[in-house]
Amino acid sequence: MPSTASSTRTTYCHYSPIGIMNKTAIQQIKSRLDFVELAGRYLELRPNGERWSGPCPFHHETHPSFHVNPGQGFYYCFGCQASGDAIDFYARINGLDFRQALTQLARETGVELDDGPTNPQDKKILEDREIYLRMYVRSAAYFQENFVSSKGGMQRKYLLDRGVSPEMIDAFQIGCSREDWHGLEKFLLSEGYDQDKAVTCGLLVRNDQGKVYDRFRNRIMFPIHDLAGAIIAFGGRAIDSSEPKYINSSETPIYTKGKHLYGLYQARRTIVRDKRALLTEGYLDVVALHQFGFTGAVGVLGTALTQDQVKRLGGLCPRVDLLFDGDQAGLKAAVRAAEMFLIQGIACNVATMPEGRDVDDVLHGQGPEALGKILDSARSGLEFCVQTISRTYAPRDIMDWVRRFLDSIPGDDLRAYYLPRLATGLGMSETELRRSRFTSASSSVSETTGASSPDSGKSTAGKSRLTTRDRQLLAFAVSCPEYRSQLATGDLEAVLEDPWALRLWTKLRAMDAEHLTGKEDGSSESSVRPGFDYTSLDEDERRVCYQLLAEVQQRGEPDRGVLWTEIQTCLNRNLLKKKQQDMLRAMREAQNQGDQQRVAELLQAYQDLAMEA
């Protein structure tokens, strides 16, 4: 397959609040994990002093800028600034949220999680979620039992006639629903599940008259998994003339439309390993692709591709190959999909099927080599968009598309990358495109198009706001946590200039206090040093802490005693300055009150203090 232009992107993993998580258990998980071994499952690492280095898995690069520090339990990329601890890394690389990553790693390390929240509302949400997930597991088993029974004869014959192998049926847990309007309902009630909860999680439907019945009837059932492997929804395909042909689960407390992709759970390891994904449309197309060795294939779920789906794939790999139908509807969907990936800086190729043929037809009729040739003939996403709109759009509509596309790009550097390529594809000069004012100011992008960059909405505190002195002081506080009590005694908060830096320092001190008083057992198992558990900080604060740690290590291990002497000098100088300011203020007040004796005393004290300085 032809190569595509590489692109750089930064991905972010948002930590969930951990108030309902046992912090001791989190520390135990970290202490039992071999961070280097964990990261080595996904990329090649080489020793580099106390650190291990390799190519960053979160953006495309040729020189290794990704570092793992196992001793201090964090990773940092100097290229895209991705950072975090072992749990954060596992979540990012697998596209999981914090809770999912924590649950999987707890299982791997043999640590029990205490999920008992003190908030009754949180507790009920968690309990209900577990019930919904169990109901989906049991429903999937029910549909699979239907499939192998005499009642699933038609659906089973249909899939076998389509060439779907038994191995794929098992791998994707495919089943079927009965024609009975109450089959699943009776099954769930017999299992002890509540009818109302079955309605809430979308397995049953309650109509306007209050009657309850099965959502899915007489259909092939495709379970939809989240990235942790939990079944959270179903897609049902009719094999007769029933309309609609496909019915998907409605939104529920465990499933949000437009956030998931069919087959991503099965494909994620291949995608992470190969750093590319294959995106197509239908359920059976995804199954057929996996059956014939294209195991990085995923599919959209009955709706147009969404930004959430684009970001989810972009978080796992730097390149996506699109495989869509060759009819007008397929071409239109492919243009929109390619545009969405390109806007996010994700490389993509576009291949279209011969009109009237789908992926399943080609694979079963001509074999994987024929499909490989179609993929090899794919065009780059930008080239495909330009050629397709040039052939099918009126000139005015072409210019409108170019304006919208460029205005939707969140960064000037990415826009500059696309401009000359667009100009070449359209037969225009880059100057003409610029002169035509097609590129809007990046500050108005969000207002005009609703597009947002990976950093939109984030605090700009961090690196750009910190003064040099604040940055040096915080770097010492983060990298030398054993000196933090002395920094507090030396009144560090009076020295820090930026309110954001002061808030971070306050949180670090709170973490120290919690570490000293909050141990829930007498265990000494955790090897994590005080101050390096940053899960209680927000994302921007964690990013800055890991960045400061990485920069300190990049410069070489400092002589902490020498650094502390320098910091003490700075703190003492500040305390002296503060005392002098207080004395000058007191002298002004005494002068205003006519207390000359007090003025003289303060003046003498001020001069003595100046001599000390």
CATH number of the domain encompassing residue 41: 3.90.580.10
pLDDT digits (tens, 9 = 90+) for 106-127: 888 988 877 655 578 777 887 8
Phi, psi (deg, nearest 5) at residue 18: -115, 25
Phi, psi (deg, nearest 5) at residue 247: -125, 130
Look at residue 10 in the predicted model and tell me its pLDDT. 34
Q: Please say which residue of 109, 136, 166 terminates a domain.
A: 109
Of 115-129, 244-258, 372-386, 390-404, give the lowest mean pLDDT range: 115-129
Q: CATH no. for residue 244?
A: 3.90.980.10
Tell me whether residue 587 is in a domain: yes
Nearest to 321 by CA among 374, 251, 394, 256: 374
pTM value? 0.67
Report for 35-49, 94-108, 140-154, 460-474: range of highest mean pLDDT = 140-154
Tell me whether residue 7 is in a domain: no
Same domain? For 70 and 124 the reply is no
Concatenate the DSSP letters of all residues of 55-86 into one string: --TTS--SS--EEEETTTTEEEETTT--EE-H
Tell me whether residue 136 is in a domain: yes
Alpha helices in 245-306 (DSSP H): 264-274, 283-291
Would the pLDDT of 448 be above 50?
Answer: no
**Total residue count of the chain as it appears in this document:** 613
**pLDDT: is 275 or 572 the higher one?**
275
Domain that holds residue 130: 120-248
Tell me whether residue 18 is in a domain: no
Same domain? For 272 and 216 the reply is no
Those residues whose C-beta lies under 8 Å from the C-beta of residue 515, and which sit 6 or more positions away, are 530, 531, 533
Tell me whether residue 318 is in a domain: yes
Would the pLDDT of 134 be above 60?
Answer: yes
Nearest to 509 by CA among 479, 476, 542, 487: 487
Res. 60 pLDDT band, cuts 50 70 90? low
Same domain? For 244 and 261 the reply is no
Same domain? For 105 and 127 the reply is no
Q: Which residues pair with 51 in a beta bridge?
A: 48
Look at residue 255 in the predicted model and tell me its pLDDT. 93
- Which structure tokens are listed for 348? 């993509």
Same domain? For 168 and 219 the reply is yes
Look at residue 93 in the predicted model and tell me its pLDDT. 79
Would the pLDDT of 25 be above 80?
Answer: yes
Average pLDDT over residues 142-170: 94
Res. 533 pLDDT band, cuts 50 70 90? low
Same domain? For 126 and 146 the reply is yes
Would the pLDDT of 139 be above 90?
Answer: yes
Q: 244 preceded by cis ω (within 30°)?
A: yes
pLDDT digits (tens, 9 = 90+) for 318-354: 899 999 988 888 899 999 999 999 998 889 999 999 8
C-alpha gyration radius of the chain? 30
Tell me whether residue 476 is in a domain: no
Would the pLDDT of 592 be above 80?
Answer: yes
Report helix, strand or coil for 205: strand
**pLDDT: is 72 or 465 the higher one?**
72
Distance CA 29, CA 91 (A): 14
Look at residue 610 in the predicted model and tell me its pLDDT. 66
* Angle between helices 98-109 and 23-32 in degrees, nearest 10: 60
Number of domains in the chain: 4
Identify the burial level of 123 via C-beta atoms within 10 angstroms of its C-beta, where 0-12 means exposed, 13-18 middle and 19 or more buried: middle
pLDDT averaged over every residue in the chain:
82
Distance CA 197, CA 135 (A): 9
